[in-house]
Amino acid sequence: MKTIMIQTYNMLLLLAEILFLILKVVYYICEDVYRLIVPTKKKSVAGEIVLITGAGHGIGKELAIGYALLGATVVCWDINDDTNNETMSDLKKMGKESVYAYRCNVADREEVFRVAEKVKREVGDVTILVNNAGAVFIKAFLNQSPDEITQVENVNLIAHYWTLQAFLPNMIEKNHGHVVALSSVAGLFGIPYGTVYCASKSAVKAFMEAMSEELRELSNGKCSINFTTVYLTFVRTGFVKKNIKTRFPRLMGELLPQKAASSIIDAQRRNYRNKSIPSFWLPMSKIGRHLPDKALECIRDFADYGVYEED
């Protein structure tokens, strides 16, 4: 009899937990819908120390400008010393003195740690880390050289491990910080000639999700470090040398670096965990997961979205 009562009690407790879970899920769905109408207020980044990898050109340079204009101290990292210093020089000409430039190959762990220590001594503790540096070769899989495959994976993915190992411990110690990672729409949908690039960007998504969940569990839900993953469509940075292939260029064409950077900063300041630019790509990817493979192929053929192979 006692055993039956215990089993009944446990069953009722489980049912209560399931009901409470359903209520919480419904609440957060409603909250998400509400946020579509009334976006989260942007937080200030004034006084924060923002480190941007790949700051020598394109999106990285525009991010440096955007954060500097908002009152943040900006630390520029790039493997190209000349373009990186040019970014710093341009910002100083705009009257922004709190900007620093360091040459760093983010794919080299020892160099990342060495330059990180220099940043800590000369500037301070990084509070916003933007992993923007990227590499891409638009080629058929069998045409990719071993060096090209290694370079793309090291810059697009492995570098995130090194920069987080360098800067995350201090964020954890102070329970304050924000990590931003640039993934890609190509990390949500595989495209021809993107076997290496798509894989690297898809892995960034998984890495950021796992990292966020790990800190949430280790801190018993008290972690105040935010993680934002941004999924960009093709951006006019010069990486993709040929025209984008799409049937609907106005809807799926290239973004300007200024527009991309502005949207990334906005996503970070609103504490979005995931943000696609343009915004329709993320919900489309979620819907696409529930469609038959053949249906997805039909949609892809209809949109004719992708890139032409490099020569």
Catalytic residues: 197
Burial class (CB in 10 A: 0-12, 13-18, 19+), 236: middle
SS3 220: coil
CB of 137 closer than 8 Å to CB of 197? yes
Nearest to 99 by CA among 75, 82, 124: 75
Going by the DSSP 8-state scheme, the letter that residue 224 receives in this structure is: -
Amino acid at 93: K
* Cα(69)–Cα(264) distance, integer angstroms: 15
Measured in whole angstroms, the distance separating CA 285 from the mean position of its chain's CA atoms is: 16
Nearest to 75 by CA among 107, 49, 45, 105: 49
Burial class (CB in 10 A: 0-12, 13-18, 19+), 289: exposed
Burial class (CB in 10 A: 0-12, 13-18, 19+), 304: exposed
DSSP bridge pairs for 99 = 74
DSSP bridge pairs for 228 = 180
Determine what percent of the chain falls in helix, strand and coil, rounding each to the nearest 5: 55, 15, 30
* Cα(253)–Cα(244) distance, integer angstroms: 7
